[in-house]
Amino acid sequence: MEDLLPKPVPPRVGLIYDDRMCEHTDPDSDYHPETPNRIRVIWKKLQSAGILQRCVVMKAKEAEDKHIALVHKKKHIDLIRNVSSQEFDSRRSKIASKFNSIYLNEGSSKSAYLAAGAVIEVSEKVAKGELDSAVAIVRPPGHHAEPNEAMGFCLFNNVAIAASYLLNERPELGIRKILIVDWDVHHGNGTQKMFYDDPRVLFFSVHRHENGSFYPSGDDGSYTMIGEGLGSGYNINVPWEHARCGDADYFAVWEHVLVPVAKAFNPDMIIISGGFDAAIGDPLGGCCITPYGYAVMMEKLMEFAQGRIMMALEGGYNLDSLAKSVLACVETLLKDKHVVASSKTYPFDSTWRVIQAVRKELSPFWPTLSGKLSKKLLVTTRKAPLIQLISSSDSDAENDDLAHAGSDAQCSVNSIEVVEDVIASLSTLTFDEDNHSKDQMSSSSASWRSIFSKVDIWYASFGSNMWKPRFLCYIEGGQAEGMQAPCSGSMDKNPPKEIVWKIVPHRFFIGRSKTRTWGAGGVAFLHPESDDSSNSYMCLYKITLEQFNDVLVQENRLRPVEAINPLFDLSDLESVTKNKSLNSNELKDGWYSNVVCLGTEGDLPILTMTCSNLDIELFKSGKLPLNAPSKEYRDTLVKGLVEGKQLSEEEAVAYINDGFTRPL
């Protein structure tokens, strides 16, 4: 009898990929995190897992301007269409520098049009019923792109274009309500703005926010941003207060916010802004979602809209974690049984705090959120880390290592362990108002910070940190005038105990070609070896060794500020005071990898950080350029020197000009 039963029809899952989207590359760096290899490794992973033979595979077609114009302004469309043409060759870099975290090259226009076109095409096929679901493996990503502005690696807002196309251009397909789920670690500011007053689109974004200090910064990602007019209540933000959120935190939000609202909204289709920079090991995200975590989130969404889901790639910069996570999502759409695993850790207490705030804010619009969360304690909570991880644009350095950063720095084994336990039910993730878990960070982390907070040193700055408001960004967090992105700050936010100025016999110079904090132009370095023929101005800040470690991390952007072990420990301090310099192996990929001791001031060592001697040789040979700073960076240097009463404005400008015009 069993042989007579019809076999279940396998789901029709579409995959769209086109290698032409790899033509969009950073002309100034081979190590930009938004690299063509992002989509290539995904495709290879799916290929090696035998997924391609089980899916409907398509190549991309370029989007039409009239469809892009559904969400973008004509001026923006004209720019992206033409910016890769020869007439823009001489000014393309300058145009890119005017945007926030954008690069442009000869392949950018085609890639942007292909990405948007690919997402439109598979969305339409899912809406028609030709596919049950689909995944668009595209770049550049899109969710940061606003109606008239590219930003955050995004040129066109692919997901928003596709959603608007289905709602406005293809009403006969019957897609009248769309749920957009944005699980990228960064807030989908562009998508939010495009549908903020539209009740046909329920936009849901879960992201690191940290009171607006995490990229894209500002208040747009706050839970109080709920939509306006007819769209009031149709914009839901779940803003994490810190990094290290993982499977349990996301499962809790799914169960207590997204799932009940999705049931009430009853979408006709779901579009996922599939960013994977909240995945474990991502160098920009600092969160800890496992591939299994993404599979569970996808599986819960498949319960709605008859499983009509289209997922478009957004972020994700740890190539291994990215590929494994996308594979887990595709296998889930194919209804494969994934390996059952769960996080041994529990949601942070801050996760419950955020969930409560979101539910309270949205309950007037969604009565399903108005009920009290269960007081029955079925899980415990974790205490939130005391500080955020480094945001995606903290350092003066371009952070050439980002594409290769490993997972060890992002989520310690104490933060998340994937074990073979079964999650019995997502509904067990309930909140106990009386639970106040006091779990501490790892004892080793607490131990070194406790000790280093009692050790004072002088940190000597020769660059933008000479201006106190800019330096305080590394201590207190935030950003100063002229900076394009905020800093996360130190775990110890106490201001410097004392500030003095000093002149040292070392060569000040300005080199490199572009930074994320300041845009196109060089930044300051100090020749690590003394030279009686040169003098450099140094602003000395009396801070703790703990704070110096946090500044060192932010300058080099190699790992989280709150990592378990220090980059520069007491033995390193002893070594550098004896040997005058220390090139740390942990810092070898950073621009400021060389800690130099410039002597003492009041019996305390004076420490600065600069480039390695190897980099000096590269600057001398021209392989690394001496280069004029951006106007914003130059103005910051001038402010530091003038407000520090070291030089007049005219003298300061001359000093800075000498830094990039005189050969090493």
- As a whole number, mean pLDDT of residues 469-495 equals 91
- The per-residue pLDDT for 412 is 34
Counted residue by residue, the chain has a size of 664
CA angle 411, 417, 420 (to 5 degrees): 155
Measure the CA–CA gap between 293 and 89, rounded to whole angstroms.
44
534-593 pLDDT tens trace = 999 999 999 999 999 999 988 887 666 666 678 888 888 988 988 898 887 667 778 998
The predicted structure's pLDDT at residue 564? 63
pLDDT digits (tens, 9 = 90+) for 493-521: 999 999 999 999 999 999 998 887 898 99
Give the whole-angstrom CA distance, residue 441 versus residue 225: 32
Q: Residue 563: its pLDDT value, please? A: 64
More confident residue, 110 or 445: 110
* Minimum mean pLDDT range among 19-33, 193-207, 308-322, 370-384: 370-384
Would the pLDDT of 441 be above 90?
no
Average pLDDT over residues 321-335: 97
3-state SS class at 159: helix
Q: Quick check: 149 pLDDT over 50?
A: yes
Q: Calculate mean pLDDT across residues 43-51.
A: 97
Q: Confidence class of residue 214 from pLDDT cuts 50, 70 and 90?
A: very high
Q: Is 404 a catalytic residue?
A: no
Q: Is the pLDDT of residue 423 over 50?
A: no
Write the pLDDT tens digit of every residue in 378-418. Answer: 344 555 443 232 233 333 443 333 333 333 333 432 232 33
Average pLDDT over residues 292-316: 97
Q: In the predicted model, what is the mean pLDDT of residues 44-64?
A: 97
Which tokens belong to 216? 């894209």
Confidence band, pLDDT 50/70/90 cuts, at residue 661: very high
* Residue 124 to residues 203, 271, 314, 428, 502, Cα–Cα distance (Å): 19, 11, 19, 37, 65
Q: How far is CA 5 from the centre of its chain?
A: 50
Q: What is the largest CA-CA distance in the chain?
A: 95
Q: When comparing pLDDT for 97 and 444, which is higher?
A: 97
Q: What is the dihedral of CA 127, 133, 135, 140, to 10 degrees?
A: 20
Instruction: Give the pLDDT band of residue 341 (cuts 50, 70, 90).
Output: low
Interval 605-658: pLDDT, tens? 999 999 999 899 999 998 899 999 999 999 999 999 999 999 999 999 999 999
Does residue 53 have a pLDDT over 60?
Answer: yes
Q: What is the pLDDT of residues 178-199, one digit of tens each?
A: 999 999 999 999 999 999 999 9
Is residue 365's pLDDT more than 80?
Answer: yes
- CB distance 362 to 262 below 8 Å: no
Strands of the sheet containing 178-182, edge to edge, are 56-58, 13-16, 133-136, 309-313, 269-274, 178-182, 201-208, 235-240
pLDDT of residue 103: 96
Among residues 144, 209, 242, 506, the one annotated as catalytic is 144
What's the confidence (pLDDT) of residue 377?
29
Distance between alpha carbon 114 and the CA centroid of its chain, in Å? 24
Contacts of 1 (CB under 8 A, 6+ apart): none
349-357 mean pLDDT: 94
